[in-house]
Amino acid sequence: MGRPPCCDKIGVKKGPWTPEEDIILVSYIQEHGPGNWRSVPTNTGLLRCSKSCRLRWTNYLRPGIKRGNFTEQEEKMIIHLQALLGNRWAAIASYLPQRTDNDIKNYWNTHLKKKLKKFQTGVDGQNQDGFSSSQSVTKGQWERRLQTDIRMAKQALSEALSLDKPNSSTDSRDFSLSHPYLKPSQSQASTYASSAENISRLLENWMKNPPKPAARQTNSAETMTQNSFNNTTTAGSSSSEGAFSATTPEGFDSFFSFNSSNSDASHESVSVDQNANLTPENSVFQGESKPNLETHQVPLTLIEKWLLDDGSAQAHEDLINMSLEDSAGLF
DNA sequence: AACGCAACCAACCGCCCGACC
DNA sequence: GGGTCGGGCGGTTGGTTGCGT
């Protein structure tokens, strides 16, 4: 059918976002929460289309985002997940809570593709699509994808029906509890911490380096120092520890120990361990850490083994060769 | 110093889907 | 049932930066 553009082209600004625009957007979202993007431009006076506002938020300003400096472990995960899921960047991003799909996609296109190609040219008997033959030939990505989707649907249905399970992992209101990589306390804490961090950096740099007319303003925004804006963000985070006390399913722990122990420490320390005091009541960012995507309930046992144990060819094979019936048994 | 080229990445575009009227 | 809206997703573009000559 085809939709008309989300905004008319007249009077809509395009191109890089300025720090001023970022601040307007962030403060609006702080006040009203994300969502209802249609109303954002009109309510804020931003000369941006709603889509642009949403993208700016989800890809750049959203709390919990780690930028650049992909760790080796992250690289491996992306490569593995790409082989498993294909170019479903949002799904892949759901396994890397601090990364956006756009970021992962860019990193794949600019780094990993080349890396794999390089690697593959050095290895005889590899196919041409960037993956090892064992990864791409065994069953085919589409079949695996289909299997994954079916499993997702099955589990979602079964858990939706078992209402007496208070810690049901499909509770969409608390994505952090259901995501394999999101330890509840950490996810919300890091989410909010990073928000404050992002915003303060934004403003700090803005104060230091007033916007240049045609420079890469979005980059300059990254290194800002704190100013009054911090007050608003910290105020929201100052009051409770409720979310911090959530229990963690045992099976998730390995993921987090993996994540934290292997990640770029200089980045992680900023976004993970600060400003942990956050509750759903006082944070407009709660629940915003990552969209709840369909892959977040992939059975952990095999995937965990496969993803984290780089040398685990057996686990890899197990996962890929898993039949529908086998995988259904996991639930 | 100036130029050209490649790399990088933020942002845009188009398509799709579900919800709502 | 069909149209519209809001939002998500993946592919692509284009501006900026960095590096080599």
User: Can you give the pLDDT at residue A7?
Assistant: 52
- Domains by residue range for chain A, with CATH: 11-63 (1.10.10.60), 68-120 (1.10.10.60)
A215 nearest nt, CA–C1': C16
User: Can you give the pLDDT at residue A208?
Assistant: 52
**290-309 of chain A touching strand C, CB 7 A cut-off:** 291, 293
Nearest to A137 by CA among A124, A125, A149, A154: A125
Say if residues A233 and A316 touch (Cβ distance below 8 Å).
no
On strand B, nucleotides with any atom < 7 Å from a protein CB are 7-17
Say if residues A226 and A204 touch (Cβ distance below 8 Å).
yes
Distance, angstroms, CA A5 to C1' B21? 21
Three-state SS annotation for chain A: CCCCCCCCCCCCCCCCCCHHHHHHHHHHHHHHCCCCCCHHHHHHCCCCCHHHHHHHHHHHHCCCCCCCCCCHHHHHHHHHHHHHHCCCHHHHHCCCCCCCHHHHHHHHHHHHHHHHHHHHHCCCCCCCCCCCHHHHHCCCHHHHHHHHHHHHHHHHHHHHHCCCCCCCCCCHHHHHHHCCCCCHHHHHHHHHHHHHHHHHHHHHHHHHCCCCCCCCHHHHHHHCCCCCHHHHHHHHHCCCCHHHHCCCCHHHHHHHHHHHHHCCHHHHHHHHCCCCCCCCCCCCCCCCCCCCCHHHHCCHHHHHHHHHCCCCHHHHHHHHHCCHHHHHHCC
Nucleic strand C under 7 Å from the C-beta of A3: yes
First-last CA distance in chain A? 39
Neighbour tally for A14: CB within 10 Å = 9
Left, alpha or beta for A227 (phi > 0: left; psi -120 to 50: alpha)?
beta
Say if residues A83 and A136 touch (Cβ distance below 8 Å).
yes
Rounded Cα–Cα distance for residues A41 and A25 (Å): 9
Rounded Cα–Cα distance for residues A283 and A193 (Å): 11
Nucleic strand C under 7 Å from the C-beta of A88: yes
Rounded Cα–Cα distance for residues A198 and A87 (Å): 28
A54 nearest nt, CA–C1': C7
On strand C, nucleotides with any atom < 7 Å from a protein CB are 3-12, 15-17
**87-106 of chain A touching strand B, CB 7 A cut-off:** 102-103, 105-106
Nearest to A255 by CA among A320, A176, A315, A331: A176
Distance, angstroms, CA A246 to C1' C13? 44
Nearest to A235 by CA among A182, A296, A282, A178: A282
A293 nearest nt, CA–C1': C8
Residue type, A57: W
Q: Enter the pTM of the model.
A: 0.57
A292 nearest nt, CA–C1': C8
Task: Please tell me which residue lies nearest to nucleotide B16, judged from CA to C1'.
Answer: A2
Task: Please tell me which residue lies nearest to nucleotide B7, judged from CA to C1'.
Answer: A110
Nucleic strand B under 7 Å from the C-beta of A52: yes
Q: pLDDT by residue for chain A (331 residues), tens digit each?
A: 433 445 555 577 888 888 888 888 888 888 887 777 878 888 888 888 888 888 888 888 877 777 777 888 888 888 888 877 777 888 888 888 778 888 888 888 888 877 776 666 665 444 443 334 334 434 444 445 445 554 554 554 454 444 444 333 333 333 333 343 333 333 333 333 344 455 555 555 555 554 443 333 333 333 333 333 333 333 333 333 333 333 333 333 333 333 333 333 333 333 333 333 333 333 444 434 443 433 344 444 455 555 555 444 444 444 444 443 444 333 3
